[in-house]
Amino acid sequence: MRLDKYLKVARISKRRAIGKELADNQRVLINGRIAKPSSEVKENDILTIYFGQKELTIRVLMLAKQVNKQQANLMFEVIEEKKREEKESE
């Protein structure tokens, strides 16, 4: 499944265009490598997504073309979620 589609179906991003924009701006890694919107996502892949100051690391558990809101949470497991701190300049 394409990365941008997976992010939308799993409800990590609200729209596919947002997932595409994240990948285009090199803010998504698949198994430690920068991903394009068309990159294939497979089960057990580790995705790291950077939203502003937030860093989300997940493991892909399931792929599906369409799921309801409750099932979307079953598509991935959150490994780590943290806020990135900006360095203060003096």
Kindly report, residue by residue over 67-80, the tens digit of the pLDDT.
888 888 889 999 99
Query: Where is pLDDT greater, at 84 or 19?
Result: 19
- pTM of structure: 0.84
Q: Which strands, in side-by-side order, build the sheet including 28-30?
A: 33-34, 28-30, 46-51, 54-60, 76-83
Kindly report, residue by residue over 6-48, the tens digit of the pLDDT.
999 999 988 999 999 999 999 999 999 999 999 999 999 999 9
pLDDT for the residue numbered 47: 95
pLDDT for the residue numbered 86: 60
Residues 6+ apart with CB under 8 A from 81: 54, 55, 56, 57
pLDDT for the residue numbered 26: 92
